[in-house]
A and B are shown apart, each in its own frame.
Chain A
Amino acid sequence: NAGVTQTPKFRILKIGQSMTLQCTQDMNHNYMYWYRQDPGMGLKLIYYSVGAGITDKGEVPNGYNVSRSTTEDFPLRLELAAPSQTSVYFCASSQTSGGGNEQFFGPGTRLTVL
């Protein structure tokens, strides 16, 4: 099992550019999440999904969009990048039931917007 994988690892964007952060999990988890972590800060939930075709906003969704067409993939789209979106982005997944509630995190994508 590769677990949760994310691409790219690093990216520099210019203001106004767009990009998609990729996230894939091979654990057959229904729940998936996107977080951002600003330097020296905690994790803030951007969007989450409870299954293919179902997504919902988290605490800080402005400037982002997501889709969930398959159980495995949960891409995060940044439109019109702004310096405030400079952050490390983590994707995570978890089981829905059966006693396993641990969220498994990907390695993160470090994004800089200049």
Chain B
Amino acid sequence: GENVEQHPSTLSVQEGDSAVIKCTYSDSASNYFPWYKQELGKRPQLIIDIRSNVGEKKDQRIAVTLNKTAKHFSLHITETQPEDSAVYFCAATPLGNAGNMLTFGGGTRLMVKP
């Protein structure tokens, strides 16, 4: 089955700096890579996703890049703000399989210091 590893497990940045979180996956059939943000005590919520036919996707201050050859993808947050502080999870799945089950990485706790 799929295995997703995520690094770093914790990341502390100064407000205004950029943050980068990296994930690697093992199943070459995976073709959908979402990122979820989970604030303390809350539910995970999708912030951005990318499919394997695209190398990069951007939405305001967040962007995701995908390298299918190397089987890794990354989340980039620019101009970080205190409200970006949360746990971020990457995930992967081969879309089209029954259930579209996501395999999640272990999470990155991002702390943005004012």
User: Which chain B positions have C-beta within 8 A of A103?
Assistant: 34, 46, 102
> Size class of B's contact patch?
20 to 34
A43 to chain B, nearest CB (A): 5
B interface majority secondary structure: loop
B44 touches A56 (CB 8 A): no
Tell me the bound Cα distance from A42 to B49 in angstroms: 18
Q: A48-B101, A101-B34, A101-B100 given as contacts; is B43 within 8 A of A42 (CB)?
A: no
Tell me the bound Cα distance from A42 to B42 in angstroms: 14
User: Which chain A positions have C-beta within 8 A of B62?
Assistant: none
Tell me the bound Cα distance from A103 to B47 in angstroms: 11
B94 to chain A, nearest CB (A): 12
B89 in complex: contacting residue of A43, A102, A108, CB < 8 Å: A43
B106 in complex: contacting residue of A31, A41, A45, CB < 8 Å: A41
A41 in complex: contacting residue of B32, B103, B107, CB < 8 Å: B107
Tell me the bound Cα distance from A40 to B107 in angstroms: 8
Does B95 have its Cβ within 8 Å of any Cβ on chain A? yes
> Size class of A's contact patch?
20 to 34
Residues of B within 8 A of A (CB): 1, 6, 32, 34, 42-46, 49, 89, 95, 98-107
Query: 26 pairs across A/B with beta carbons < 8 Å?
Result: A31-B99, A31-B100, A33-B99, A40-B107, A41-B106, A41-B107, A42-B106, A42-B107, A43-B102, A43-B104, A44-B104, A48-B99, A48-B101, A50-B99, A56-B98, A59-B1, A90-B43, A96-B100, A101-B34, A101-B49, A103-B46, A103-B102, A105-B44, A105-B45, A107-B43, A108-B43
- Known A-B contacts: A43-B104, A107-B43. Give 10 more (CB < 8 A): A33-B101, A44-B104, A45-B102, A90-B43, A94-B100, A96-B100, A102-B34, A102-B46, A103-B34, A107-B42
